[in-house]
Amino acid sequence: MAEGYNPERREALKILGAIGTTCAFPFAGDELYGQQVAAAPARKFLTQPEFAMVSRIADLTIPQTDTPGAVAAGVPAYIDYVVSTNKGFQELFRSGLAWLDGQRFLEMSEERQIALLTPISAAVDAGKDDAPQEKFWRAMKGMTADGYYTSKIGLVQELGYSGNMARSGFPECHEH
Amino acid sequence: MRAKLYDVVVVGSGAGGGTLSSHLAQKGLDVAVVEGGPKVNTRTDFNTHAMPFDFANRHIPTMKPGKPGFDSERTRGLGGKTMLWNAVAWRLSQRDFKGRDHDGAGENWPVDYKDMAPYYDMVEREVGVCGNLDHLEDLPDGIFMPPAAMKCSDLIVQRGAAKLGVKVIHVRKATLTQARRTRPACHYCGNCMAGCDVVAKYNSYDVQMVPALKTGHLDLYPDSIVREVMISDENRVTGIKYIHRSTRAEGEVRGRAVVVACACAQSAALLLMSKSSRYPAGLGNSSGELGRNFIPHFTGGIECFLHELTGTPATNDEGFLDHAYVPSFMHTRKRDYARSFGCQFNYQNRRAVGWARTLPGFGKAYKESVKARYPAYLTFAPYGEMLPNKASYVDLDYDRKDEYGLPQARRHVSFQENEKKLFAAMNQWGVDILKSAGAEIHSVGPEPRTNHELGGCRMGTDPRTSVLNQWCQSHDVPNLFVVDGSAFPSASEKNPTLTIMALAARTADHMAGRFKKGEI
């Protein structure tokens, strides 16, 4: 919701917005009813090394706990798909991942990986997105959250959403 | 068959066109409904119960594969927006109809509450509206089925609001809480806005037009995009010209009267497009007011987490989306702006977790914080009334044509001093109510966004400053009518659909009487 108001980010959020924003606030507009994109096979844009890097960051963002993490939920393929549909995302990911590759990110220990990402994440949480790494992190984390929490593992197993139930009536609240 | 001269040609099949056409057909008039979109089967064609992970982009399409409809911003399809609406159904109050008399701003309606009340009764009886009798001056009670119980989260907000002297009431919706004729009661699956596959939620096609088709007095012209309302040298409209949606063939439907009811800005656009030597600036636009006085609702939107529910098991209580409402309470309080606002809340769909993007951090703690907040997440959306101003209007963009070669409707919205004050107040009240209910505020929409398009062909008593009279009849052309949100001279803060339906029922009554007397 909040991110939809920054005009600079509007373009980048077109696809992300189709999932969260409109459903949370159904009044957001009829224009999104038309946003249907055909189903896609895995890995459409990212190279194999890029895909590995995205997989690693996704699992650091949403790791396996008592439920599976982002990679097990198919988040990297979802991110690859979303990135493949938008030129802005493609540039952002290509350069962001190249920067991480230059840091030899995949060769680092988990502690060092987390240490590298923590200040970037904190800057983004504080509302910054000036640096390319910040822009990349904002998009990467957003897509990871979207991909995970719209997956069956994320939505049903982790969050406990039961899908649609047919009720004979709406139950009174009994907890008070 | 198709060269038939109808009594009435209705453009559009939503709350306005659907109600009006079915009422006229039931009264024995021959009616044609021309709808830009296809016929949709409510029970089979919508993706009502799909999950996001069924789709590569995780976005659930409105329609099932191979089922056309509702594929453009114009929401084309038989039933119009009633197929996908949230069914909130308020009556406007006398203060809404005569707002100018109360605070000197905006415009009065040419009707009073007592003129509309019988028609509110009529449509509530006809379609079924659930709600509670609340005895509020600014939100008249109606003829209601029992309301749906409030969610636990609603009760938390209600207790918080009560500390500030603000009421939270049961929502009123045109959704059945008890079975009725061929329609079952709501089963609370939470997907009202994805197309109700059992028609517990009202839609104009299944509830009104299907029964009206049995009279033999109603013909449907789906997939027919109206490009012009035709007018004769005698200053009478004679029918419409359309383009077929798939074949692009052109056709005409002729009638003794024409009703335009194709969704507010689109209705204004169709009349603006219908230029003639008598009306070079658009049909029925001798006042120059056509397209003007565009007054959509505006809202911000607050996202929050209710502390009482943080860390509890998933609630799975989508119900029929919002079960409660904060009715306008500022009409009678001291304030530095005209008019008021009402708040819809708790109508988030739990299949969408977009707020997780902006929750801080990453890793295990982040994952845990999303899970803890999932049952506590709540959206809160105050809706404010906009006053008409010169800079807010609908016109045609001849540089941007649609795939049928028709100019696009262009909406100009300018928020003035009153809207800015009202917007600040409704955000502040929203935050205060939620904090009083023990909520962690996640986001506050910093800019107003429009919704519920209203105005553009407003009713009024003065032909120099309005497009329609109190019967939704053109001041200029006696057999031309406009029956949808565009007819509203002032918006109120309340969701408009029930009033559109009541206006349509009232106009149908009036038209049938005029036909009987041979006046049309």
- CB proximity B86 to A under 8 Å: yes
Looking at residue A92, its pLDDT comes to: 97
Q: Does residue B443 contact residue B358 with C-beta atoms inside 8 Å?
A: yes
Looking at residue A35, its pLDDT comes to: 35
Tokens of A124: 């983004």
CB atoms within 10 A of CB B67: 17
B201: which chain A residues are within 8 Å (Cβ-Cβ)? none
pLDDT band at B496 (very low <50, low <70, confident <90, very high): very high
Residue from B342, B429, B344 nearest B163 by CA = B429
B319: which chain A residues are within 8 Å (Cβ-Cβ)? 170
Average the pLDDT over each of B187-196, B220-229, B259-268 and give the range with the smallest value.
Answer: B187-196
CA B206 – CA B69 distance, rounded (Å): 16
The average pLDDT across B393-402 equals 96
Looking at residue A37, its pLDDT comes to: 40
Residue from B55, B119, B56 nearest B503 by CA = B119
CA B313 – CA B321 distance, rounded (Å): 19
Extended strands (E) in B377-514: 377-384, 393-401, 407-412, 439-444, 449-451, 480-482
Interface-testing mutation among A9, A19, A66, A89, with chain B (most B C-beta atoms within 10 A): A19
DSSP A95-148: HHHHHHHHTTGGGS-HHHHHHHHHHHHHHHHTT---SHHHHHHHHHHHHHHHHH
CB-based contact A2 B152, cutoff 8 Å: no
CB-based contact B316 A20, cutoff 8 Å: no
Q: Which of B:202-261 have CB within 8 Å of A?
A: none
Q: Does residue B325 contact residue B168 with C-beta atoms inside 8 Å?
A: yes
The alpha-carbon gap from B504 to the nearest alpha carbon of chain A, in Å, equals: 23
- pLDDT tens profile B331-388: 889 999 999 999 999 998 888 899 999 999 999 999 999 999 999 999 999 999 999 9
CB-based contact B53 A150, cutoff 8 Å: yes
CB atoms within 10 A of CB B459: 24
Looking at residue B316, its pLDDT comes to: 87
- pLDDT tens profile B38-68: 999 999 999 988 899 998 888 888 899 888 8
Q: Is B145 helix (H, G, I), strand (E, B) or coil?
A: strand
Q: Does residue B147 contact residue B172 with C-beta atoms inside 8 Å?
A: yes
CB-based contact B352 A19, cutoff 8 Å: yes
A162: which chain B residues are within 8 Å (Cβ-Cβ)? 314, 316
Looking at residue A16, its pLDDT comes to: 42
The average pLDDT across A48-70 equals 97
A127: which chain B residues are within 8 Å (Cβ-Cβ)? none
CB-based contact A141 B362, cutoff 8 Å: yes
What is the value of pTM for the model shown? 0.92
Looking at residue A164, its pLDDT comes to: 76
Give the DSSP H/E element, type plus range, for residue A59. Answer: helix A48-61
> Rounded to an integer, what is the distance from CA B183 to the centroid of its chain?
22
- Number of H helices and E strands in chain B, helices first, is 11, 17
Average the pLDDT over each of A35-49, A108-122, B466-480, B481-495 and give the range with the smallest value.
Answer: A35-49
Looking at residue A31, its pLDDT comes to: 31
DSSP B230-252: EE-TTS-EEEEEEEETTT--EEE
- pLDDT tens profile B225-261: 999 999 999 999 999 999 999 999 999 999 999 999 9
Quote ipTM for the complex: 0.90
- pLDDT tens profile B408-417: 999 999 999 9
Looking at residue B49, its pLDDT comes to: 87
CB-based contact B354 A16, cutoff 8 Å: yes
Q: Which of B:421-480 have CB within 8 Å of A?
A: 442-447, 449, 451-452
